[in-house]
C-alpha cells in the first residue's frame, strides 16, 4: 500500500499524529533527502527523490506491495507529487494523509482568511499561471516560489505589469530562522535572498492597458 503523507512545513510541531504514525510504521520511505533524513529509522529503506522522476516512479511501483510512504512537505494535494503519481501510475492504489501547507502557516501568521485568494506556483514552473491570474484581474494572489524564480523576481514581474500593492513574504516558515516581511511589491522587488519563499500580494492598482497588451 502506498501512502502519500504531508508533513507540513517541516518542523515537528506541525506534524500531525496520523502522519507520524504512518511514517513510523513504514517499511519504505520515499521523499527529498531533507525530509527523509529527518524521519528515517533503522530498518526502513529510504529512496531519495531527485530530478530523476523516472527513477522515483519506478521505486514507487516496485514497492507498492510494501508499507510504502511518500513523504512530502506541506499538503500532498497542494502543488505536490500527488498529481504526477495519479497521471503516471493511474492504476496505483494511493492513500493520502493531508498536511499543513506553507500557505496556511503564512495566513495564520498575518491573521488573515484566505478563501478568496488565488494560488499559483512558479516552483519549477513557468510564469504562465501568474500571467493568467493577472489577466483575470484578481486582487489577491499567493505565489509559491523557488530558488530561480524568487519572490523578488515575481515582484519585478508584477511591477512590469503595472501592479502595485501590499506584499508579504514568508521564508523558512515554522523554523528558528523564519522570516516574515510585510511591505509593498515595490520593496520586495529590490530585495535579495528571498529564495523558495511564499509570496502573498494584495493588488491595489493595476495598469489595465499593460494587462490587455500581454493578453
Residues 96 and 111 in one domain: no
Residues 96 and 119 in one domain: no
Per-residue pLDDT at 193: 84
Residues 78 and 149 in one domain: no
Residues 90 and 110 in one domain: no
C-alpha grid cell for residue 194? 528571498
Can you tell me whether residue 95 is helix, strand or coil? strand
Angle at 12 between CA 6 and CA 13, to 5 degrees: 100
Residues 75 and 152 in one domain: no
Q: Give the count of domains, the chain.
A: 2
**Residue where one domain finishes, among candidates 72, 100, 128:** 100
**Residue where one domain finishes, among candidates 100, 133, 163:** 100
Residues 94 and 112 in one domain: no
C-alpha grid cell for residue 197? 519563499
Residues 72 and 111 in one domain: no
What is the domain-level CATH number for residue 32? 3.40.1010.10
**Residue where one domain finishes, among candidates 47, 79, 100:** 100
Residues 128 and 74 in one domain: no
Residue 204 DSSP class:
E
Per-residue pLDDT at 12: 85
Cα separation values, 176 from 16, 70, 91, 161, 180, Å: 20, 26, 41, 35, 12
pTM above 0.95, yes or no: no
What is the domain-level CATH number for residue 183? 3.30.950.10
Residues 188 and 93 in one domain: no
Alpha-helix runs per DSSP H in 116-160: 128-135, 151-160
pLDDT in tens, the chain (215 residues): 899 999 998 788 999 999 999 999 999 999 999 899 989 999 999 999 987 889 999 999 999 999 999 999 999 999 999 999 999 999 999 999 999 999 999 999 999 999 999 999 999 889 999 999 999 999 999 999 999 999 999 999 999 989 999 999 999 998 889 999 999 999 999 998 888 899 999 999 866 544 445 55
Residues 117 and 183 in one domain: yes
Residues 31 and 94 in one domain: yes
Q: Which of 108, 80, 82 is nearest to 13 (CA)?
A: 108
CB 142 within 8 A of CB 202: no
Residues 107 and 96 in one domain: no
Query: What domain range includes position 178?
Result: 103-214
Amino acid at each position: 500500500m502506498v501512502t502519500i503523507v504531508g508533513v507540513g512545513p517541516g518542523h515537528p510541531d506541525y506534524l500531525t499524529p496520523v502522519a507520524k504514525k504512518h511514517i513510523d510504521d513504514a517499511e519504505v520511505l520515499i521523499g527529498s533527502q531533507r525530509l527523509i533524513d529527518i524521519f528515517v529509522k533503522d530498518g526502513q529503506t529510504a529512496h531519495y527523490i531527485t530530478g530523476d522522476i523516472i527513477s522515483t516512479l519506478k521505486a514507487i511501483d516496485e514497492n507498492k506491495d510494501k508499507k510504502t510512504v511518500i513523504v512530502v512537505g506541506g499538503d500532498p494535494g497542494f502543488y505536490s507529487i500527488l498529481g504526477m503519481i495519479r497521471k503516471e501510475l493511474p492504476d496505483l492504489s494511493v492513500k493520502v494523509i493531508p498536511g499543513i501547507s506553507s500557505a496556511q502557516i503564512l495566513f495564520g501568521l498575518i491573521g488573515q482568511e484566505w478563501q478568496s485568494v488565488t494560488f499559483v506556483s512558479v516552483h519549477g514552473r513557468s510564469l504562465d499561471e501568474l500571467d493568467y491570474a493577472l489577466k483575470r484581474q484578481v486582487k489577491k494572489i499567493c505565489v509559491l516560489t523557488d530558488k530561480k524564480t524568487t519572490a523578488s523576481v515575481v515582484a519585478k514581474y508584477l511591477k512590469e505589469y503595472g501592479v502595485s500593492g501590499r506584499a508579504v513574504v514568508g521564508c523558512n516558515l515554522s523554523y528558528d530562522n523564519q522570516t516574515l516581511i510585510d511591505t509593498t511589491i515595490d520593496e520586495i522587488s529590490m530585495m535579495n535572498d528571498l529564495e523558495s519563499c511564499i509570496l502573498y500580494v494584495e493588488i491595489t492598482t493595476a495598469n489595465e492597458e499593460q494587462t490587455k497588451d500581454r493578453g
